[in-house]
Structure 1
């Protein structure tokens, strides 16, 4: 493991950021400490023997739970960091070793007694892939549990030790079919015969995960109740009519139900009580012995509710709902459920021929990102989720689509989406690559065989129903999707629809990610793309699918990012091999680099790694700004939304990401952020037409547009300063600025364009800075631009916040494309994650810019500020 990776992982494990729980229950204790582990091949004892407290565990290793076999082996130092260099090739793959090699025992000693009248339950929220459970010398499960996504719950009351000293032993087996990681999408495809992750056999953005993520990968809890256990409470919020954020609201209506399980043989009677927002409803119940029932409660009417809105449109107000069950006046069980009051609607837009999404009656132009998984080795923490979703919010996106080859995302992921206002499309676990959409010579089975994956259809359906119950209460969850680029088999699809109707019934279900029911494919092809580097003009001129589920580009980080996982000898400029997708360096190829083509040549190319990575950020910024602006320019005409492929990587890949695996943002993030502003002034790269995009629900009167051009020496050429009007959710063309850019020398040397929008209070709400090549398409002026005279002042304004003021003196050249970072004062290593309200910024002569940097998860604050610009050598500044 590299020093940086070890430090990074240790910080994630130790952080204690307080986040709102997705669902809390009284009397629940997580078993997250004191685990030990050993491979099955080295343990010559039965589960009954191992789970006896007298069994000797002296030679067993301390284990991480939640975790996987590979994360534990990494912690024990038995394998190198698979995310660094070519280390992954040094780890034995399960396809070669056989399943027994990665079959492991996990043991936990815990304290728990059952008092009179109490029931004690053992809960597993996720184990990959099958397992048997033993407690105090007895087998707990009568049949082996299968399914990575299927929760399991066991009543262990009668198995607990009288003295409270208990031993739990769990043997975890890998997926039934491990798949051949032969370099195809999902390897040979047979990984999809399981109801589990598909990417673990490798994809075009990741190498194979050698243990296929075997382990107790999600929470294990012990829960105490009385006779009746309250399970899977369900909340539906109804918000009729068209609403406005911040206004006095008409009533909303809250429908609730819950499952009740009587653990005893006796008939019991009592009542269920639900409270939210000062309102209370209840219902009398009676349960026969060992009965399980679902109870629907009276609808709650909530006056003037605080509504939940997607990011940028309003607040993400949340309520806490209490659900309790009483027996003879005594509390038997309770749970608290975070509730966001909102209603999501969808309707077909006949003009665009695509679906249109509304929230609380207001249509939302979808600006989204495709999400794989937070960490490819399932090191999933609330802190990392919070940081990643905050980055998506900071990009001014409003939706995340969870790709179908990965997870039904965890409640902690949804907690962060609820908090930051991100709508979510949740795919179920199919992909066109593994499940047979296309002919593929890399696949073991033919299309007809793959079309019927997985092997156990009943397990898929059962897992889907359980996942629906797990995450359905989240206001951020907006859309269900049957699979990535393919529907499930017909019997699964029918059962899935039945489950969604019965267990949810409030959300739009797309049969597959690029279905005509989402976005009518009148162009041909697969219904998504394009991918890879594109001329900026393509996004404005080329009409693609009207609700595009995948469109994306490059995403290499800067040189600091690259040095974290590329060995020194591989820090080279990647040179394309003609006729292949590979580059001259095998490590770049191994980490799935895709070419930047000739996009860096107009900047003069790159002779070393530093120049390459620095120039890549200019390309990154322009690519994603142009993507978001181009789609927005055709809002409601060509498009109802677009979703970037993709915004993050769960390992150290060299493509499609706004921040690297270590949570270090690159220029893609800030280009997307600017291009996705709610109210935005932008310029068409083809005809230089300035356009105003208003994504808000309100008419924007008295917006002032300020447009200025600058030449390479920094001379200002005023263009216009004019009040403009913009209707709600609309696009409006204003004027062409090409003649003014030519006056600033664009044809000869290139030029700069600054577009700013001020609201009626003179607050700057959109700030957009373009740089243009000369008539030959080269940035000749940038290559000769004078040295920046940037002045920097940094001041601590809170425990984890720094205010930075950048000033550029009058008469100086533009201080172009400056990157800011907080670094440790002793080591100069970057403090991560870091959140900036802007970055990669340019400051025109005679102006200043204020930027706020936030490092909320930092463990120390002995910092310096690092600043580097295109024409400004990196310098470190003390923070006052």
Structure 2
């Protein structure tokens, strides 16, 4: 039985019924390739037969791109390291022939018996291709389009001996674009229906082959006479729901599916949908060689387990099945689908003057992050998707926006979002930069011409239709967006909004473009985005931005371990900013798109070297993103209905806007954001020195003890207040001002401000530790702290999971900003990805703090735990 939320699947599955078997498998091994110019004298029909020798062809990576294959064969250097990318020929200067390649796979598949059908599926080829099987061409005309899947019935073309050859010649994009340093280079990359960042952007360097290749899964599928595609499931959850109700009111499920009869005879049978122990069905007669979309009766689920966004409730998922059985009892095709029962709504909030999103009748304050792509070279995996989305969950975010200059994200991305409760805003493929919103001297053509990109509008609409069908069943998908910072050209926009969406989905909010006035009223001018870059901490509380801000972001440099992975030794220097430019005095650091910290790092003392700079930058990172998210949460439903950080991750070794680096190593941005977005949270407003309680859940919390105290650099504490309060659901509440006390206590060396929440059993619910500057605004008092006396102990839970407990003596100072890492003892490298329930942790005098750590354990390897604190020398503990 194939598992499918979309038309094509890449998983093994098997079902037996009356002797007929059906399966699907992925062709992801034993590929070889060769440059087209090297075999130009060989006819495609001959090349695609098993008689032709593939000697001297090189191993190919599929799914993958030409450049991925060249990297894996060490033909070109790793473009992520240093300036290696400049050593790789760019397609704009070499011509498209340099990256026009044949990809060939010899596979075994017997010619089927009876009415069994065999299908060849491609989930993504960039940009054009011709496909041959056993000497026969499958496509009449050259196929084009990065976001259009292909499906071929190859039943009659399989060799009787079961040995077959698939040969695909892949052509680069029609317009490859001049990588001249502009956003999307000279803009002409947008003439294709493809991704735009590959010609370069302000956060990435150009991809030299523009990601030409068979970039997504290739599968062989077998069905009976009738096959099913494009199942569509809509869940309806009327009313206002709560996540913890034991007897939930019923939900309604609507299902449809497209059936294909691939024979010359009429096929009679039953289409059946099963879910939660119930089923609905419908009898159908399919005319010869016909296609029919079938809507099934409504299915009612009693007491459903609902799906909720992260921090608001559980992510319950059901397995549903769609089965077509012929009247003779043969199961011709079946599909399984993971279904999350929830309903999305959106409405205008007259107070904030912005749209608000609700799930299951409950308004959700959007805490989102902008996502570009998992890997700039399209090297995707289910495991990497899972790790990255898990990081977003652990940041306490609840939405990811997939930026419009990239791709429609893959099913595996959405599976992870379903699992971790991340709502998704999916852009289509356009941007203000390439598609003509602004005058731009870097662009080849004028705004009027660029406004009409891409060249083939019908291909865009056809591709959009296919992508909607591919991902529409995922409960995490919440919002469709026409494009990044601009509406698409009129006929495409109308086709999306007025035709495709009502017909193919009809359940989600469609935004014209990412900073549209229909999303957020813009009362202060500008583009509806930002600001970007370093800000003072009070800024995030005192400056009122757009009420649903789609892009606002800051810095994101990793620590020295991260930087050493891609900076050559001679370039491991303190970045010195060049006034008026987004550049520093080191060419490699500039090349990796460093964004400046201003004088914020120097406030901790002049850095001695890059290691010291990166260490102090983590303090800035933590503070920036904690203050950013707290400032927005502090004004939720008053100033704001949502925020999306630009951006949370990087698909290569860039030096800006990231909570973890390309190698999945988190920096302090992630944990500052995590702290600031806790479900029940006490926080300090640095703009007016007031204390707030935030409640990011649907439950009211009564009898909350709010405690505010300070510690000096030696660990001496002073209690400012203990007061009972309450936490209003989905809101923030100002409790008190403490400005006078802070000015007096911290004017010499600064201080630590601690805001805590405890329940009526005196259990700690939330602890938030700020470090405040002296009266000159410097943090140099931290350099006077006594050495930490903290004790660190671990306990093994199971292979790959431990708990680590910090114990700080009562007579000690604060043990400040401890970075914890799991290290491979043999290589000395950090083990990645590792997930920490908290990191960069501080422990107050007389207290303990325990964190959980999960890491990818391998039997036979030896691991150690490294702890490196601000006032603690790095130590390693063997993990036996």
Question: TM-score with structure 1 length normalisation?
Answer: 0.96
Q: 1:425-824, aligned counterparts within 5 Å?
A: 425-497=425-497, 498-742=499-743, 745-824=745-824
Partner of 1:458, secondary structure, is helix
For the pair 1:295 / 2:291, whether they are aligned, the reply is no
Cα shift readout 1:604-631 (whole Å, capped 9, x = no counterpart): 1212111100000000000000000001
Cα gap change, 1:27 to 1:358, in 2 (>3 Å) = same
Report the counterpart of residue 10 of structure 1 in structure 2.
Answer: none
Query: How far has the Cα of 1:707 moved from its partner?
Result: 2.0
* 8 Å CA contact 1:193, 1:455 repeated in 2: yes
Query: Paired residue for 1:87, among 84, 87, 100?
Result: 84
2-structure distance, mates of 1:763, 1:301: 42
For the pair 1:69 / 2:66, whether they are aligned, the reply is yes
Report the counterpart of residue 18 of structure 2 in structure 1.
Answer: none
Report the counterpart of residue 11 of structure 1 in structure 2.
Answer: none
1-structure distance, mates of 2:740, 2:411: 54
Cα gap change, 1:567 to 1:533, in 2 (>3 Å) = same
* 8 Å CA contact 1:794, 1:878 repeated in 2: no
2-structure distance, mates of 1:319, 1:39: 46
Query: How far has the Cα of 1:783 moved from its partner?
Result: 2.0
Moved more, 476-485 or 791-800: 791-800
Question: TM-score with structure 2 length normalisation?
Answer: 0.96
Partner of 1:842, secondary structure, is strand
Moved more, 344-353 or 698-707: 698-707
* 8 Å CA contact 1:22, 1:412 repeated in 2: no
Report the counterpart of residue 829 of structure 1 in structure 2.
Answer: 829
* 8 Å CA contact 1:23, 1:337 repeated in 2: no
RMSD: 1.3
Cα gap change, 1:762 to 1:298, in 2 (>3 Å) = farther
Report the counterpart of residue 107 of structure 1 in structure 2.
Answer: 104
Partner of 2:798, secondary structure, is coil
Structure 2 residues without counterparts, runs of 5 or longer: 1-8, 15-21
Cα gap change, 1:85 to 1:180, in 2 (>3 Å) = same
1-structure distance, mates of 2:860, 2:279: 45
1-structure distance, mates of 2:12, 2:735: 49
2-structure distance, mates of 1:159, 1:214: 27
Report the counterpart of residue 5 of structure 2 in structure 1.
Answer: none
For the pair 1:250 / 2:246, whether they are aligned, the reply is no
Moved more, 30-39 or 382-391: 30-39
Cα shift readout 1:340-379 (whole Å, capped 9, x = no counterpart): 0000111000011000111000111000000000000000
1-structure distance, mates of 2:688, 2:196: 45
Cα gap change, 1:48 to 1:493, in 2 (>3 Å) = same
Cα gap change, 1:747 to 1:827, in 2 (>3 Å) = same
2-structure distance, mates of 1:435, 1:803: 51
* 8 Å CA contact 1:258, 1:296 repeated in 2: yes
Report the counterpart of residue 172 of structure 1 in structure 2.
Answer: 170
Partner of 1:706, secondary structure, is strand
* 8 Å CA contact 2:129, 2:143 repeated in 1: yes
Query: How far has the Cα of 1:290 moved from its partner?
Result: 1.4
Structure 1 residues without counterparts, runs of 5 or longer: 1-19
For the pair 1:868 / 2:868, whether they are aligned, the reply is yes
2-structure distance, mates of 1:859, 1:82: 32
2-structure distance, mates of 1:307, 1:741: 46
For the pair 1:28 / 2:24, whether they are aligned, the reply is yes
Report the counterpart of residue 4 of structure 1 in structure 2.
Answer: none
* 8 Å CA contact 1:22, 1:338 repeated in 2: no
Cα shift readout 1:33-80 (whole Å, capped 9, x = no counterpart): 111111101113122111111110011111111010000000101000
Report the counterpart of residue 351 of structure 2 in structure 1.
Answer: 351
2-structure distance, mates of 1:245, 1:283: 33
* 8 Å CA contact 2:11, 2:25 repeated in 1: no
Partner of 1:272, secondary structure, is strand
Partner of 2:748, secondary structure, is helix
2-structure distance, mates of 1:574, 1:89: 21
Cα shift readout 1:428-461 (whole Å, capped 9, x = no counterpart): 0000000000000000000000000000000000
Report the counterpart of residue 38 of structure 1 in structure 2.
Answer: 34
1-structure distance, mates of 2:695, 2:11: 34
Moved more, 137-146 or 758-767: 758-767
Cα shift readout 1:311-337 (whole Å, capped 9, x = no counterpart): 111110100110111112210011111
2-structure distance, mates of 1:75, 1:860: 27
Query: How far has the Cα of 1:22 moved from its partner?
Result: 9.4
* 8 Å CA contact 1:269, 1:285 repeated in 2: yes
1-structure distance, mates of 2:592, 2:831: 24
* 8 Å CA contact 1:566, 1:587 repeated in 2: yes
Cα gap change, 1:739 to 1:859, in 2 (>3 Å) = farther
* 8 Å CA contact 1:819, 1:867 repeated in 2: yes
2-structure distance, mates of 1:758, 1:109: 64
Query: How far has the Cα of 1:426 moved from its partner?
Result: 0.1
Report the counterpart of residue 409 of structure 1 in structure 2.
Answer: 409
* 8 Å CA contact 2:311, 2:696 repeated in 1: no
Query: How far has the Cα of 1:721 moved from its partner?
Result: 2.6
Cα shift readout 1:462-520 (whole Å, capped 9, x = no counterpart): 00000000000000000000000001100001111210110000000000000000001
* 8 Å CA contact 2:539, 2:687 repeated in 1: no
2-structure distance, mates of 1:466, 1:184: 31
* 8 Å CA contact 1:355, 1:518 repeated in 2: yes
1-structure distance, mates of 2:679, 2:11: 29
Partner of 1:536, secondary structure, is coil
2-structure distance, mates of 1:22, 1:530: 43
Partner of 1:384, secondary structure, is helix
2-structure distance, mates of 1:631, 1:641: 8
Partner of 1:749, secondary structure, is coil
2-structure distance, mates of 1:725, 1:336: 46
Cα shift readout 1:179-214 (whole Å, capped 9, x = no counterpart): 000000000000000000100000000000000001
2-structure distance, mates of 1:580, 1:786: 40
Report the counterpart of residue 17 of structure 2 in structure 1.
Answer: none
Report the counterpart of residue 218 of structure 1 in structure 2.
Answer: 216
2-structure distance, mates of 1:647, 1:665: 11
For the pair 1:130 / 2:128, whether they are aligned, the reply is yes
1-structure distance, mates of 2:611, 2:489: 49
* 8 Å CA contact 2:790, 2:809 repeated in 1: yes
Cα shift readout 1:756-815 (whole Å, capped 9, x = no counterpart): 212345443322110000111011311211111121112221111111111111221111
Query: How far has the Cα of 1:21 moved from its partner?
Result: 8.4
Report the counterpart of residue 335 of structure 2 in structure 1.
Answer: 335
For the pair 1:307 / 2:306, whether they are aligned, the reply is yes
Q: 1:133-148, aligned counterparts within 5 Å?
A: 133-148=131-146
Report the counterpart of residue 16 of structure 1 in structure 2.
Answer: none
Cα shift readout 1:581-636 (whole Å, capped 9, x = no counterpart): 21100001100001100111211121211110000000000000000000111010
1-structure distance, mates of 2:11, 2:311: 23
